[in-house]
Amino acid sequence: METLAIALNERGAKTAVKLGLPVEIGKPGFILDQYWNSGKTLVLIMALPIAVRLLSKRELSKEIDPIVIAVDESGKFIIPVLGGHKGANRFADELASRGNGTAVVTTSSDIAGIAAIDGLSGFVARGDVAAVIETMLEGNHPVVEYAIPWPGPIHLSSGTGPAKVIISDSTTALESQAAPTVQLIPPSLVVGIGCSSNASVDDVSELIRSVFLENRLEVRAIAKLATIDIRAGHPAITGQKMPVEYFSSRELSQIAVPNPSQKVKSHVGTASVAEAAAIAASGSTDLIVTKARNKVATVAVARRRAKGHLKLVGLGPGEAMMRTPEAVEAVVSSEIVIGYRPYIQQCHELLSPHQLIIRSPIGEENQRAQIAVEHAMQGRVVALVCSGDPEIFAMATISFEVLEALCDEKKICDPQKYLDVSVIPGVTAGLGAGALLGAPLGHDHAYLSLSDLITPWGTIEKRIQAFGEADIAIVIYNPQSKTRTWQLPKALEILSNYRPRTTPVAVVKNVGRHGELKQIYTLETFDPATVDMTSLVIVGSSTTRRFGDYIFTPRGYTI
């Protein structure tokens, strides 16, 4: 989420910088006017009464309010003011973690540890939200009614009522329900669009509105639009402010549709645009609304299969400030978060009651990846978290191997019809350690794991020799454990054949975490007994030099 802090003075601005927030200083009312409808999360660094008076001058509505958080000038207390269920509560927890402050969350559902109906990721809620939440606070689970085949919220198990939750993409008359009722609207519909070159934004939007009204469909259930690629960039399409998927005329011409048109084919090379695009983008074979038209546009609607999303998330080596905003967003927006127990703890302030949290013991990487892939294939949004970067001796490769094997087993040729996979990079432990030491990785370098649980020692030894001959700095992961003690001395012995005994060797423990420590030695003075499984070892190249408490590897420039 894009964020802006608004501070009254330099003290508040320093707190914003400490929390990792972009900040503007000045008259807060004027700055709020500029950014009120910008979509940004607004962090007001000032006393809460001042924030309240500023907000009272604006027209507020729960449906359209931005996320607003108040933070005192010292950063001690972080208070969600607006948009608690939209993400303000979770972001307050994250800011508290960044600045060692306290998040003051007052919404009843969060206090009780239950999923707020109007804050469920992937759904829009309408109806008597407050009354349904009240019955849940009293311990009564609502009846859950599935009007369409769509996976419901992960923690919303069907109860006996009296309240009801309806999962549907149709307009539903909630007023006629005898008990408090909420409709959860999923992003289940795809709208195929064809239009002439002179069509306007209003031409298309009015046709969509009329089609959805006539067929009692919820506009808020639209996941994306779809059309032919020659309309890429057309204002009538892009002006709808929705995601758009484009297809070539050849792709569209291969799809059977109810209402083909030879006239359309003569103009664009396919007998259908709206119907074929809706089918192609939805992965369905049927339309729930066949082609409707006005003078310059056509529209068709299909219901898509719930498509999963597997996010392989690197949390960085330790503290929250070393996480990327993309990693934060990936965890917060997922239904299921899976990871080794310490990694789940590493991002605990991002988690919420509406998520299923699966904590895994050490050494169960394959099982962890299997669980994550299976949930994603069922249409769930899953974050598989790991420290550092998911590609560096972590979960990304294992997950792709598991997914490949599952697709082979089920004879799935195109896994992208069932799920998307995103690899969210993170700051590696190696980069964190290198930064703490100075710049030992300033020239060519390599990453090496000394764990021979999967890779035979003979292969590891060949790589050490190759890196030694190449004369590059090496970051050594998994250098030593209680039972695996001889590999590190052997590795250093091999490397000493290729570089001076005065070459810097450093040990960094607990990178980015409590107890972070660096120690600098040489090949000659290094003591392997100082190394454990919380350590990384960095061995310099022949050009790496020590400078006080730092080491660096020159890039070769003449100074």
DSSP codes of every residue in 162-226: SSEEEE-SB---GGG-SS-EEEEE-S-EEEEEEE-TT--HHHHHHHHHHHHHHTTB-GGGEEEEE
Residue 301: Cβ-neighbour burial (10 angstroms; 0-12, 13-18, 19+): buried
Q: Cα separation of 440 and 265, whole Å?
A: 62
Q: Cα separation of 332 and 380, whole Å?
A: 14
| Structural domain harbouring 236 | 200-303
Tens digit of pLDDT at every position of the chain (559 positions) = 689 999 999 999 999 998 889 999 988 889 998 888 888 999 999 999 999 999 988 888 777 888 999 999 999 999 999 988 778 888 888 888 787 889 898 887 777 777 777 777 788 888 888 888 888 888 888 889 999 999 988 877 777 878 899 999 999 878 777 889 999 999 999 999 999 999 999 999 999 999 999 999 999 999 999 999 999 999 999 999 999 999 999 999 999 999 999 999 998 999 999 999 999 999 888 899 999 999 999 999 999 989 899 999 999 998 888 899 899 889 988 999 999 999 999 998 888 877 899 999 888 899 999 999 999 999 999 999 999 999 999 999 999 999 999 999 989 888 888 899 999 999 999 999 999 999 999 999 999 999 988 899 999 999 999 999 999 999 999 998 888 889 999 999 999 999 999 999 999 999 988 889 999 999 999 988 889 888 999 999 999 999 999 999 999 876 6
Q: Examine residue 221 and state whether it is found in any structural domain, yes or no.
A: yes
Residue 57 has what pLDDT?
Answer: 86
My answer on whether 45 and 90 are in the same domain is yes
Q: Cα separation of 547 and 231, whole Å?
A: 60
Q: Cα separation of 137 and 130, whole Å?
A: 10
Q: Examine residue 192 and state whether it is found in any structural domain, yes or no.
A: no
Q: Write out the two tokens for 463.
A: 């790589």
Q: Examine residue 195 and state whether it is found in any structural domain, yes or no.
A: no
Residue 329 has what pLDDT?
Answer: 87
Q: Cα separation of 200 and 211, whole Å?
A: 17
Q: How far apart are the first and last CA of the chain?
A: 43
Q: Write out the two tokens for 419.
A: 């799920």
Q: How far is CA 280 from CA 24, 209, 268, 277, in A?
A: 46, 22, 17, 5
Q: Examine residue 257 and state whether it is found in any structural domain, yes or no.
A: yes
My answer on whether 479 and 535 are in the same domain is yes
My answer on whether 208 and 279 are in the same domain is yes
Residues 186-215: tens digit of each pLDDT: 999 999 999 999 999 999 999 999 999 999
Q: What angle do CA 164, 169, 173 make, to 5 degrees?
A: 55
Residue 484 DSSP SS3:
coil
**Total domain count, the chain:** 5
Q: How many CA atoms lie within 13 A of 449 on its CB side?
A: 12
Among 303, 338, 366, the domain boundary falls at 303
Q: What is the CA radius of gyration of the chain?
A: 28
My answer on whether 317 and 403 are in the same domain is yes
Q: How far is CA 46 from CA 26, 33, 57, 255, in A?
A: 12, 17, 17, 59
Q: Examine residue 559 and state whether it is found in any structural domain, yes or no.
A: no
Q: Which helix (H) or strand (E) holds 493?
A: helix 487-495
Residue 173 has what pLDDT?
Answer: 79
Q: Cα separation of 394 and 400, whole Å?
A: 12
Query: Looking at residue 82, which CATH number applies to its domain?
Result: 3.40.50.11220
My answer on whether 414 and 323 are in the same domain is yes
My answer on whether 356 and 417 are in the same domain is yes
Q: Examine residue 126 and state whether it is found in any structural domain, yes or no.
A: yes
Among 258, 285, 303, the domain boundary falls at 303
Q: Quickly count: other Cβ atoms within 10 Å of residue 498's Cβ.
A: 16
Residue 358 has what pLDDT?
Answer: 95
Residue 559 has what pLDDT?
Answer: 64
Residue 295 has what pLDDT?
Answer: 93
Kindly report the length of the chain: 559
My answer on whether 314 and 286 are in the same domain is no
My answer on whether 181 and 130 are in the same domain is yes
- How distant is the alpha carbon of residue 118 from its chain centre? 20
My answer on whether 50 and 37 are in the same domain is yes
My answer on whether 146 and 256 are in the same domain is no
Residue 33 has what pLDDT?
Answer: 87
My answer on whether 525 and 445 are in the same domain is yes
My answer on whether 164 and 233 are in the same domain is no
Query: Looking at residue 447, which CATH number applies to its domain?
Result: 3.30.950.10
Residue 558 has what pLDDT?
Answer: 67
Q: Cα separation of 203 and 329, whole Å?
A: 35
Q: Examine residue 558 and state whether it is found in any structural domain, yes or no.
A: no
Q: Which helix (H) or strand (E) holds 429?
A: helix 429-437
Q: Write out the two tokens for 227.
A: 């059309």
Q: Examine residue 45 and state whether it is found in any structural domain, yes or no.
A: yes
* pTM score, whole prediction: 0.80
Among 269, 303, 337, the domain boundary falls at 303
For residue 162, say if its preceding peptide bond is cis, omega within 30 degrees of 0: yes
Sheet with 189-195: list strands edge to edge. 244-247, 222-228, 189-195, 297-303, 289-293
